[in-house]
């Protein structure tokens, strides 16, 4: 599924009836007209035109899903933004350098494990009332997994040393 460009040209082959009160303007089966576009994708496409009531904007979607209801296609596109934001958050916070497996189950397991670790560290930070950032705590925990000191001691000692570094009158060069 994608948004159609404003200058896209189509040949309408079939129009399906739509309920205009839902925001749908049309649901059509189309073919690309421009020579190179048609060479690149000779199959028939579904063109859905929708008026977004929140932004009062006309959106044109192209998809090859013929069985989904038109409103579902519109809702999927709208929720795509939430998926993008979630993926951005995962990249920024979970520090997954590479995946150890390529199957769907392996990727899901690794992402859920990383989320669980992130939540557990957030709970520890809240319970111990630490001023360390979650990022700093995760770095400390990744460096000291086999220390003989207790978790509380490692984190509170690190918090003290970080506070001492910030409170000195020494200027930073870099």
Q: Which of 45, 43, 52 is nearest to 74 (CA)?
A: 52
Supply the mean pLDDT for the chain: 83
Cβ atoms of 116 and 104 closer than 8 Å = no
Rg, Å, the chain Cα set: 26
Kindly indicate the confidence band of residue 164, based on its pLDDT and cuts at 50, 70 and 90: very low
DSSP type of residue 107: H
Using DSSP's 3-state secondary structure scheme, residue 52 falls into: strand
Average pLDDT over residues 63-91: 86
pLDDT tens, residue by residue, 35-64? 888 888 888 999 999 998 888 889 899 998
pLDDT tens, residue by residue, 6-32? 788 888 999 999 899 999 999 999 998
**In the block, which residue shows the tokens 């421009």?**
34
Q: What pLDDT shows up at residue 80? A: 85
For residue 105, the tally of other CB atoms under 10 A from its CB is: 8
For residue 46, the tally of other CB atoms under 10 A from its CB is: 21
Task: Extract long-range pairs of 38-46: CB within 8 Å, 24+ residues apart.
Answer: 44/13, 45/10, 46/73
Q: What pLDDT shows up at residue 28? A: 93
Cβ atoms of 3 and 61 closer than 8 Å = yes
Strands 57-63 and 10-16: unpaired
In this structure, of 36-50, 84-98, 99-113, 158-172, the range with the lowest mean pLDDT score is 158-172
Kindly indicate the confidence band of residue 158, based on its pLDDT and cuts at 50, 70 and 90: low
In this structure, of 55-64, 91-100, 106-115, the range with the lowest mean pLDDT score is 91-100
CA separation for the pair 5, 60 (Å, rounded): 8
For residue 10, the tally of other CB atoms under 10 A from its CB is: 18
Kindly indicate the confidence band of residue 129, based on its pLDDT and cuts at 50, 70 and 90: confident
pTM flag (> 0.85): no
- Exposed (0-12), middle (13-18) or buried (19+): which is 5, by Cβ within 10 Å? exposed
């Amino acid at each position: 599924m994608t948004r159609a460009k404003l200058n896209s040209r189509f040949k309408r082959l079939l129009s399906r009836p739509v309920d205009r009160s839902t925001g749908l303007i049309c649901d059509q089966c189309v073919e690309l007209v421009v020579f190179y576009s048609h060479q690149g994708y000779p199959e028939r496409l579904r063109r859905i035109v929708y008026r977004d009531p929140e932004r009062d904007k006309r959106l044109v979607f192209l998809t090859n899903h013929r069985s989904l209801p038109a409103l579902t296609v519109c809702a999927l596109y709208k929720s795509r933004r939430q998926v993008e934001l979630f993926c951005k958050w995962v990249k920024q916070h979970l520090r997954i350098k590479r995946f150890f497996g390529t199957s769907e189950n392996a990727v899901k397991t690794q992402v859920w494990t990383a989320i669980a670790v992130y939540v557990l560290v957030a709970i520890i930070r809240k319970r111990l009332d630490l001023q360390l950032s979650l990022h700093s705590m995760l770095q400390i925990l990744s460096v000291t997994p086999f220390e003989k000191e207790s978790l509380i001691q490692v984190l509170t000692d690190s918090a003290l040393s970080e506070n001492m570094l910030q409170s000195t009158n020494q200027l930073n060069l870099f």
